């Protein structure tokens, strides 16, 4: 594995560790994030709208230029919403 790949993976792991710590220290983050995603899921540019509102209403900060960890977080939100829809 090249050092650039290892460096990128290490950075993503560090970002995910910080994120997980925030979620565990404030359990309302997950609830708020999912409420926001449900509200904006069908909108044009939904990911951008969701990211901005999560940043404005929680301690999670998703910058304008997303990292791989930010993208992964938004993808997981969509996976959870897909799973919810499959239940109904």
pLDDT digits (tens, 9 = 90+) for 7-26: 988 988 998 898 889 888 99
Dihedral in degrees, nearest 10, Cα atoms 13, 19, 25, 26: -160
Q: Please list, in sequence order, all residues whose beta carbon lies within 8 angstroms of the beta carbon of residue 69, skipping any fewer than 6 positions away.
A: 12, 15, 16, 19
The residue extents of the domains of the chain are 3-87
Closest by CA position to 36, among listed 65, 62, 68? 62
**pTM score, two decimals?**
0.83
Residue with tokens 């925030």: 22
pLDDT digits (tens, 9 = 90+) for 34-63: 999 999 999 999 999 999 999 999 999 999
Q: How far is CA 64 from CA 1, 25, 67, in A?
A: 30, 25, 9
């Amino acid at each position: 594995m090249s050092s650039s790949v290892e460096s990128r993976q290490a950075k993503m792991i560090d970002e995910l560790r910080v994120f997980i710590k925030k979620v565990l220290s404030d359990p309302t983050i997950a609830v708020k994030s999912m409420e926001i995603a449900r509200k904006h899921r069908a909108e044009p540019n939904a990911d951008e709208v969701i990211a901005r509102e999560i940043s404005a209403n929680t301690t999670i900060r998703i910058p304008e230029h997303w990292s791989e960890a930010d993208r992964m977080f938004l993808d997981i939100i969509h996976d959870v919403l897909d799973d919810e829809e499959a239940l109904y």
